[in-house]
């Protein structure tokens, strides 16, 4: 609510207000530099807003922009790291890993690999397993599919959407891709230069744009329709 964040003289966020309803996927959409990652970094607590109010109902699981897996740990150790730190018993950890393997349809044999021995899509699934491990109320993903090639991206989009549906979680997902935003988002918030331009469904943005920029942003990327 009314969140402002300045870096030096650069206003990265200017009175940003966003409401993220539970058990839905909300997409933050905007060009590079519009403030998407800054919002997320404030939500997860690595940055502090200069002013405004941030309220979060429950714990957060976070999938960073590049997956953020530790390169020196196997997939299994990446996934179980937080639970290990919290002192979970091995049996409980193994049971949770089994659940998450099923959920993400990841081949169990891949767990002994290091991140660099996995494909981009597999790394994303491992990162999602790690973020989901403690059953967070809110799952935040920063451009989760940005690094994938278009064909794999399409597959992973479909899988990811069914995982979100299965988890019934509140999901906040960042993308700069309007098609991806439409595919995932029950609601979209379009940002421009640290301002919220509009929040609504894809159809709201398309049919009743709050600003000419909304139409420009949508049309600039609609090359196949």
Taking the least distance from each CB to Mg ion, the nearer of 80 and 175 is 175
Do the bridges between strand 195-200 and strand 187-192 make them parallel or antiparallel, or are there none, so unpaired?
Answer: antiparallel
**Cα 158 from Cα 194, distance rounded (Å):** 30
Which residues here bind Mg ion, judged by CB under 5 A?
36-37
Residue 28 C-beta: closest distance to ligand ADP, Å: 8
Please choose which of Mg ion, ligand ADP, none residue 153 contacts, taking the beta carbon within 5 to 8 angstroms, the exact cut-off set by kind: none
Which residues here bind ligand ADP, judged by CB under 6 A?
7, 10, 12, 30, 32-38
Residue 38 C-beta: closest distance to ligand ADP, Å: 3
Taking the least distance from each CB to ligand ADP, the nearer of 153 and 192 is 192
Please choose which of ligand ADP, Mg ion, none residue 68 contacts, taking the beta carbon within 5 to 8 angstroms, the exact cut-off set by kind: none
Please choose which of ligand ADP, Mg ion, none residue 10 contacts, taking the beta carbon within 5 to 8 angstroms, the exact cut-off set by kind: ligand ADP
Please choose which of Mg ion, ligand ADP, none residue 34 contacts, taking the beta carbon within 5 to 8 angstroms, the exact cut-off set by kind: ligand ADP
3-state SS assignment for residue 170: strand
**Cα 129 from Cα 78, distance rounded (Å):** 9
**Cα 39 from Cα 49, distance rounded (Å):** 9
Residue 17 near residue 3 (C-beta atoms within 8 A): yes
Taking the least distance from each CB to Mg ion, the nearer of 79 and 131 is 131
Residue 8 C-beta: closest distance to ligand ADP, Å: 6
**Cα 135 from Cα 129, distance rounded (Å):** 10
Q: In what order do the strands lie in the sheet with 195-200?
A: 60-63, 138-142, 170-175, 25-30, 187-192, 195-200
Taking the least distance from each CB to Mg ion, the nearer of 45 and 108 is 45
**Cα 65 from Cα 174, distance rounded (Å):** 9
Taking the least distance from each CB to Mg ion, the nearer of 39 and 138 is 39
Helix (H) or strand (E) holding 142: strand 138-142
Residue 217 C-beta: closest distance to ligand ADP, Å: 13
Residue 143 C-beta: closest distance to ligand ADP, Å: 8
33 burial class (0-12, 13-18, 19+ CB within 10 angstroms)? middle
């Amino acid at each position: 609510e009314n969140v402002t964040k300045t870096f030096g003289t650069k206003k990265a966020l200017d009175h940003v207000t966003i409401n993220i309803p539970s058990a839905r996927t909300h997409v933050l959409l905007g060009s590079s530099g519009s403030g998407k990652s800054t919002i997320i970094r404030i939500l997860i607590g690595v940055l502090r807003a200069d002013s405004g109010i941030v309220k979060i109902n429950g714990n957060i699981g976070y999938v960073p922009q590049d997956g953020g897996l530790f390169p020196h740990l196997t997939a299994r150790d990446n996934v179980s790291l937080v639970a290990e730190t919290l002192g979970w018993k091995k049996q409980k950890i193994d049971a949770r890993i089994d659940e998450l393997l099923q959920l993400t349809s990841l081949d169990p044999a891949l767990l002994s690999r290091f991140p660099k021995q996995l494909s981009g899509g597999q790394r994303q699934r491992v990162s999602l397993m790690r973020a989901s491990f403690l059953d967070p109320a809110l799952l935040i993903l920063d451009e989760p599919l940005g690094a994938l090639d278009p064909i794999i991206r399409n597959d992973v989009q479909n899988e990811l959407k069914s995982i979100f549906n299965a988890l019934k979680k509140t999901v906040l997902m960042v993308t700069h891709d309007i098609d991806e935003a439409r595919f995932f988002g029950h609601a979209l918030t379009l940002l421009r230069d640290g301002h919220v331009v509009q929040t609504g469904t894809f159809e709201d943005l398309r049919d009743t744009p709050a600003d000419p920029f909304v139409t420009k942003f949508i049309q600039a990327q609609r090359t196949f329709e």
